Amino acid sequence: MKKLVVLLALACVATCSYSQSKPVELPLYEGKVPNEVPGPNQEKKEVRADKTVSITQVRKPTITVYLPVKEKANGTAVVICPGGGYAKLAASHEGYDVAQKFAEQGVAAFVVKYRLPEAAVTSQPEITPLQDAQQALYYVRKRAKEYNINPQRVGIMGFSAGGHLASTAGTHFTKPQIQNPENLSLRPDFLLLIYPVISSDPAVWHKGSFERLLGKEPTKEKLKAYSNDQQVTAQTPPTFLVHASDDGAVPPQNSILFYQALLQHKVPAELHIYQRGGHGFGLNNKTTKDYWFDRCLNWMASNQLLESAKQ
């Protein structure tokens, strides 16, 4: 009897190991990286005291794939852009940790290690982050069948400056910045924006993000073009937003302005603003028992994004 129990346990372990896909990091581009400035790979990864991972000087962008177990996969996918003020990537608590949570819920997740707007690595710093975000959307849709994904249920998520990148992808999709021979859609099907940088209004902006993306003396036209609340149209994807009232780095008006623009254009939207939480809390706002990720899943379910692909 004991031998039978042991054999059954081993079989279970083998089955679970087989069905649970491990994250795989892959090059974002198959060939040459566009706009690349030749030079040594000086990418740095820092593991901080709180175990979070920060990445800088990205020269070779990648995409890390988190697939759900086959039995739970529902056909929805989300591309995740970590924040970091366009100076670094908060890769763990605003990337890998979130991707793992989505995979557990049956959603395929793809963390983008995108290039930062640095002249040392790209000849076109302004468009390079968007280029990589669009390439990630292209990558997922091109391989949708392989990953058991519905190409009409591919969204993009971003935290802080990554939220600016995600909202740029959601408002600038008619301007392709990549090669797209199959003419695949570069429009995300939904946006998930967590304490995002949105507005270039000096009264509420995150100055550092805009300076790193556009330079210290951008034109008014450039500032308006990347103030994504001013770029919302009726074609902007449905959006879920989270912010904290006491965010001293990226004021909550950024989410509010984007939300108001969505309402003006009759785009489905949901906004959650917590009383406290500050900035950069990732999945865990320790000031409240409420778990915003649950609110996010509820919103996705209400938009039929968690239904099984078999239904």
pLDDT tens readout for residues 257-306: 999 999 999 999 999 999 999 999 999 999 999 999 999 999 999 999 99
Q: Which amino acid is at 209?
A: S
Q: How confident is the model at residue 50 (pLDDT cuts 50, 70, 90)?
A: confident
| pTM for the model | 0.93
Domains of the chain: 2-302 (3.40.50.1820)
Amino acid 51: pLDDT: 87
The pLDDT of 73-91, averaged and rounded, is 98
Q: What is the pLDDT of residues 98-126, one digit of tens each?
A: 999 999 999 999 999 999 999 999 999 99
Contacts of 227 (CB under 8 A, 6+ apart): 198, 199, 200, 201
Residue 20 half-sphere exposure toward CB, CA atoms < 13 A: 9
Edge-first strand order for the sheet with 44-47 is 44-47, 53-56, 89-90
Distance of CA 224 to the CA centre of its chain: 22
Task: Quote the DSSP letter at residue 233.
Answer: -
Q: What is the pLDDT of residue 309?
A: 55
**Burial track 86-103 (b if 16+ CB lie within 10 A, e otherwise):** bebbbbbbbbbbbbebbb
What is the C-alpha to C-alpha distance for residues 271 and 273, in angstroms, rounded to an integer? 7
Closest CA to 190 of 153, 143, 142: 153
